[in-house]
Amino acid sequence: MKSALTFETIARCSTTKAKASLLTLPHGPVNTPVFMPVGTQGTLKGLTPRQLEDLNCQIMLNNTYHLGLKPGQETLDLVGGAHKFQKWNRNLLTDSGGFQMVSLLKLAKITEEGVQFASPHDGSLMMLTPEHSVALQNSIGADILMQLDDVISSLTTGPRVEEAMWRSIRWLDRCIAAHKNPDRQNLFAIIQGGLNKDLRRKCVEEMVKRDTPGYAVGGLSGGEEKDVFWQIVSLCTDLLPKTKPIYCMGVGYAEDLVVCVALGVDMFDCVYPTRTARFGNALTMNGILSLKSGKHANDFGPIEEGCDCPTCKNYTRSYVHLVATKDTVGCHLVSVHNVAFQLRLMRQMREAIIKDEFPAWIKRFFAGYFGDKTRYPVWAVNALKSVDVDLMA
């Protein structure tokens, strides 16, 4: 199918499957590997689009399901799309709304036609079909839109997993047929198949035939064993075309990002940085810092030494401790830092890949983030060993 993007690999790690690439989309360049902050209803919680731009974020997410309810398709059409609506001049990716099948399952009923949701606002019914999902995303004007897929919990077993995989393939065909703007919006397929490697292989085989501009690995990060998670990710990156971007949905913990980049993933998203900020948790290269802790009351240093985000340049741990979780200002300040941390983490990985120093960088990261090797997650050690990085050596 038509593509409105280019994807150029700049450098490959000579040890792992990691690569640094330039993804060029209608609203500008994106350096990969990239973390995409999630602005569910047109903004990240606690940040304005302008602040996100000031952090040099090149692409963010919006959510089709939520924007479809409020402000609604008619308003989006009147204003000329979500870029104008939220004053965001860089790239947007929209989630199709499929994930809400899992997160709002009490409100959802799934059939071959689509998913019927009860609005969390007023209880009114909304039918989200592949055609309606794509129409909404066409109205939003996202640079990358995701197919509607039949999303099930990653812990689901039995015939429902295969049913969801085949339905996702059929729904992809309906999305492709309904997509009105392939010359300026890129439709990505989503690989399903649960934790079953044979189903994942079959799904990749079928979806690659559709030749979409990029591919996502879906249906993970739902509580499955991490040793199974990384094997599914690695299988998919082995099978998918290396000439197109690969996006692992819902991944945001620092160690997960590092491992998945080593396994060959280019793109990630997660609400984690802003969600954990609301609990007073700051992300740093030396691990997670609980700013609610009284030990920070008289600490007049920044959240993280060497961080150049507006929070670290202007406020102390002592001040953020005072307002963390008690005031929206605290949530805002920690959110700014956490998003800046995620973007910096990705930049450092990209630079290390380009210099072909990524394995050494991974070892330094784990040593700084976890300290003692006995605290390294076993699954991460196993995953990295599969790409010839031995953390325990």
Residues 6+ apart with CB under 8 A from 32: 19, 20, 21, 22, 23, 245, 266, 267, 350
Helix (H, G, I), strand (E, B) or coil at 24: strand
Backbone Cα Rg of the chain:
21
Amino acid identity at 274: T
Cα separation of the two ends of the chain: 46
Catalytic residue among 54, 95, 173, 390: 95
269 is annotated as an active-site residue: yes
> Phi/psi of residue 126, each to 5°?
-135, 125
Catalytic residue among 150, 256, 269, 372: 269
327 is annotated as an active-site residue: no
Nearest to 217 by CA among 199, 303, 134: 199
Give me the helices (H) in the chain, please: 49-54, 64-67, 73-79, 82-86, 100-103, 130-140, 159-178, 197-209, 226-239, 254-262, 272-277, 310-314, 317-323, 328-354, 358-370, 378-385
Give 268's strand partners.
Answer: 35, 248
User: CA 39, CA 191: separation in Å to the nearest integer?
Assistant: 23
What is the set of active-site residues? 95, 269
